Amino acid sequence: MKRGDEGGRGPHGMWRIGVDSGGTFTDICVADEATGDLRVWKVPSTPDDPSHAIARGAVEALSTATNGAAAVVSYFGHGTTIATNALIQQRGAPTGLITTEGFRDLLEIGRQRRPHLYDLQADKPPLLVPRDRRIEVGERLRHDGRVDKPLDEPAVRAAIRQLERAGARAIAVCFLYSYVDPRHEQRARRLVEEELPQAFVSCSHEVAPEFREYERLSTVVVNAYLGPSMAGYIERLGPRLAEAGIGVPPHITQSNGGVMSFATACRQPVRTLLSGPASGVVGGLEVGLAAGYRHLITFDMGGTSTDVSLIEDAQPKLAGELDVHGYPLKTAALDIHTVGAGGGSIAAIDRGGLLKVGPRSAGAVPGPVCYKLGNEEPTVTDANVVLQTLNPAHLLGGRMAIDRAGAEAAIGRLAARLGLSLMATAQGIISVVTATMAKAIRVISVQRGHDPREYTLVAFGGAGPLHAARLARELEIPRVLVPRHPGILCALGLLQSDLKTNYAQTRVMLLTSESVPRILETFGELERRAASWFDDEGIAPSARRLRRTVDMRYAGQNYELPVMLPRDSPASVLLKQLTAGFERAHEQLYGYLAAEEPIQTVTFRLEAVGLVPHAELRPCPVARDVAAAVERRDVWLPETGRFVTCPVYDRERLAPGHRLAGPAIVEQMDATTLLLPGDVARVDPLGNLVIEYER
């Protein structure tokens, strides 16, 4: 049976599992295909080997969901930070580079632009390939693909032997204009496989077949650098899943929001660098659409960082170029902006004597001070414990004890250095982290021509709902949507993700009636490649979807804007559609048009999507009585400058029809939600908490 032919849900006892491996916790969501029932679970992450927490958490979650009864796993999806962590912590494999004669130092020269123009102490990211492992060989293609100089095969063999002596375990191959004609790179790959078969090899035409040499070079180097780490991780995870009784072929989330096989992830780990955050965007989109909202800002605040993304009219934005810790990458990715602001972000005093929160994080180990795992530096979570917005006794539904006295002592030490009271310091930590997150949302909205007042904030992650109401007021976002299971929405997103792959081809030409046949020819080539991928993955014809995009610019501009093109646009209207789409995008972003300037097409993109069954979001039983608080707690609210007695509600007891007035606290196993004075919350038919406030 092909994917997409399944029709209805599977038989009783068939379960789908989504696991998101985060920096602090590993989140698991399991769905019963027969009933649509969703169960969630969280376990502490095991940073030294994430596969331990993944396998253990999946077993615990499934056993809890089935009361220990036998179950068959029909799908396993996984979001991972293994590639991201290897890149950030510089734990990739020793890598070598074989490149065109004269371009050895391009990796080090990079671009002239700097992210912080006036920072005289700004550092470049560490070089992943030192100069002695960057080797030039004779070869040259022209911009149109004609061979100017044949590949010097003896020089390639000599380079491979030199890299072997230098200890390289991975080799990147990047030749000039290989995106036009990859024959030289393909031959170099075969030579590496002959001379050094144990090495991981990556070619630029495979991972980034488009122009801009530096970015393409950076992408293939990062892919090679991460290859052995990803392969080793998957070699460990596969057997552990099998031991846990999960025999179905597993999938990993890509940065583009889709999933791919483990085999593909081994070949192209660079596509997993936004694995976890991307599944959060997918989950936020599915929850938002089901609740009736199409214009969304997803806000995922976890233990280490915050990820935000904008969704316009149910379409997530794609990034024109990805930058991960200073390394520019040409790989398909959702437009996600990340800042170092999470529950574990450490509060400290900077060189100017001011309070600073993040980007350093206590992570899962040792975690916040209140976890009692050895950390002594105060974090955002500790501030919330002191303010009592978080339960000062326990978290995770009572499974994790909290040391409030330890949190107070840590923040007290910081308060003494700042000359502030304990509560003022805790309040200051929350204010600083809120400002950091508000700035991140402005980057993806206001700075790109979008008004946040026209969007709904979807708050999730373990810490997102706790900070969302305050963040919405800061940005005048009218509505906050807290999903039924906010702490594991990334894991739920894995059960909503389709198979995806992306194709690209750079062809710079003026947009005229004469260029229309070549545009159609280019998309025809990409669609033939997509058809082959669909066949290899076993995707049924009825489950195949294609999305066409053209990167365009005015002649003379340096950067492009993506323009969507309807799937079956006839040649007679294609020119008009592309022109109108580009002008709309240009005016929205820059505020003007240059109607007299010629327009160029630059890169043609095709996204191939294989639809798979999604976990169904089902309505909850309607409430029959008024929501009753399980307890009352004194909470320090910066808005009032004092402790306020607030009702505390158990999220599990809230049902559609219940309405709550702030200030109030809503607790559940995977997250805590704060309602500020003036907030009004209602539980919608799907169990989401919808928060609005008086403006």
Residue 504 has pLDDT above 50, yes or no: yes
Q: Is residue 396 part of a domain?
A: no
pLDDT of 1 strictly over 60? no
Question: Phi and psi for 203 in degrees, rounded to 5?
Answer: -110, 145
Is residue 511 situated within a structural domain? yes
- Tens of pLDDT, residues 568-607: 778 788 999 999 999 999 998 888 999 889 999 999 999 9
Q: Tell me what pLDDT residue 581 has.
A: 93
Q: For all residues of the chain together, what is the average pLDDT?
A: 90
pLDDT(396) > 70: no
Residue 622 lies in a domain: no
pLDDT, tens digit (0-9, with 9 covering 90-100), for 118-127? 777 777 889 9
pLDDT tens for 356-387 read 998 888 876 788 998 888 888 999 999 999 99
Vertex 79: Cα angle to 74 and 82 (nearest 5): 130
E strand or H helix at 395? strand 394-395
| Judgement on whether residues 552 and 518 belong to the same structural domain of the protein | yes
- Tell me if 621 is assigned to some domain: no
Neighbouring CB atoms inside 10 A of 509's CB total 13
Pick from 286, 255, 291, 314: which is nearest to 615 by CA?
286
User: What is the phi-psi region of residue 538: left when phi exceeds 0, alpha when psi lies from -120 to 50, beta otherwise?
Assistant: left
Q: Among the three residues 593, 610, 627, which one is the final residue of a domain in this structure?
A: 610
- Nearest in space to 410 (alpha carbons), one of 385, 438, 430, 439: 385
181 shares its domain with 237? no
What CATH number is associated with residue 265?
3.30.420.40
pLDDT on residue 647:
96
DSSP 586: H
Tokens 């997250």, residue located: 671
675, HSE (Cβ side, Cα atoms, 13 Å): 28
Q: Tokens 């929850």 appear where?
A: 287
Residue 466 CA, chain-centre distance (Å), reads: 21
Rounded to an integer, what distance in angstroms lies between the CA atom of residue 186 and that of residue 304? 40
Is the CB of residue 179 less than 8 Å from the CB of residue 216?
yes
Joined together, the tokens standing for residue 261 give 């096989």
Amino acid at 615: A
Question: Is 195 found in the same domain as 100?
Answer: yes
Rounded to an integer, what is the distance from CA 248 to the centroid of its chain?
24
The reply to whether 148 and 214 lie within a common domain is yes
**Residue 489 resides in a domain:** no
Catalogue the E-assigned strands of 175-326: 200-203, 251-253, 259-261, 296-301, 306-312, 315-316, 322-324
Residue 267's domain spans which residues?
Answer: 14-86+232-272
Residue 55 and residue 136: Cα distance in Å, rounded?
44
Residues 236 and 216 in one domain: no
Q: pLDDT of 665-691, one tens digit each?
A: 999 988 999 999 999 999 999 999 999
Whether residue 251 sits in one domain with residue 202: no
For residues 246 and 215, membership in a common domain is answered with no
Residue 251 pLDDT more than 50?
yes
Residues 75 and 185 both lie in one domain: no
pLDDT for 3 beyond 70: no
What per-residue confidence (pLDDT) applies to 6?
43
Q: Tell me which of 230, 253, 285 is where a domain ends.
A: 230
User: What are the tokens at 285?
Assistant: 């989109």
* 107 and 34 within one domain: no
Distance between CA atoms of residues 385 and 370, nearest Å: 8
Q: Please state, for a pLDDT cut of 90, what percent of the chain lies above it.
A: 64
Phi, psi (degrees; rounded to nearest 5) at 529: -65, -40
Cis omega before residue 359 (within 30°)?
yes
Domain end residue (candidates: 230, 251, 284): 230
Q: Does residue 186 lie within any of the structural domains?
A: yes
pLDDT at residue 499 is higher than 70: yes
Helix runs in 422-502, H state only? 422-444, 464-475, 489-494
Burial of residue 94 (number of CB atoms within 10 Å: 0-12, 13-18, 19+): middle
In sequence order, which residues have a C-beta less than 8 Å from that of residue 354 and are 6 or more positions away? none
Question: Reading across the β-sheet that carries 25-32, which strands appear in turn?
Answer: 38-44, 25-32, 14-21, 72-79, 251-253, 259-261, 499-510, 599-610, 544-554, 561-565
Give per-residue burial for 32-57: e unless 16+ CB within 10 Å, then b. bbeeeebbbbbbbbbbeebbbbbbbb
Give yes or no: residues 220 and 261 share one domain: no
Q: Which residue has the tokens 């960057």?
A: 134
Is pLDDT of 9 > 50?
Answer: no
How many domains would you assign to the chain? Answer: 3
Within a domain: residue 288? no
Lowest mean pLDDT among 55-59, 127-131, 217-221, 226-230: 55-59
Residue whose entry in the numeric block shows the structure tokens 């003896």 = 154
Q: What pLDDT is attached to residue 114? A: 73
- Please say if the pLDDT value at position 97 is more than 80: yes
- Fill in the DSSP letter of residue 198: T
Instruction: Report the alpha-carbon distance of residue 246 to residue 263 in Å, rounded.
Output: 17
Whether residues 253 and 222 share a domain: the answer is: no
Specify if 198 maps to a domain: yes
Give the separation between CA 605 and CA 551, rounded to whole angstroms.
Answer: 8
661: how many CB neighbours lie within 10 A of its CB? 12
Convert the pLDDT of each residue in 12-51 to its tens digit.
468 899 999 876 778 899 988 877 788 888 888 887 888 8
- Could you report the per-residue pLDDT of 523-568, keeping only the tens digit for each? 999 999 999 999 998 899 999 999 999 999 999 898 899 999 887 7
Buried b (16+ CB within 10 A) or exposed e, 138-159: ebbbeeeeeeeeebbbebbbeb
- Where are any strands of DSSP class E within 120-210? 134-137, 140-141, 147-149, 170-174, 200-203
220 shares a domain with 236: no
pLDDT in tens, 137-165: 999 999 888 999 999 999 999 999 999 99
Query: Which structure tokens are listed for 323?
Result: 């930058």
Q: Which two tokens stand for residue 179?
A: 């995106």
Average pLDDT over residues 406-434: 95
Q: How far is CA 595 from the centre of its chain?
A: 37
- Per-residue pLDDT of 229-246, as tens digits, reads 999 999 888 888 888 888
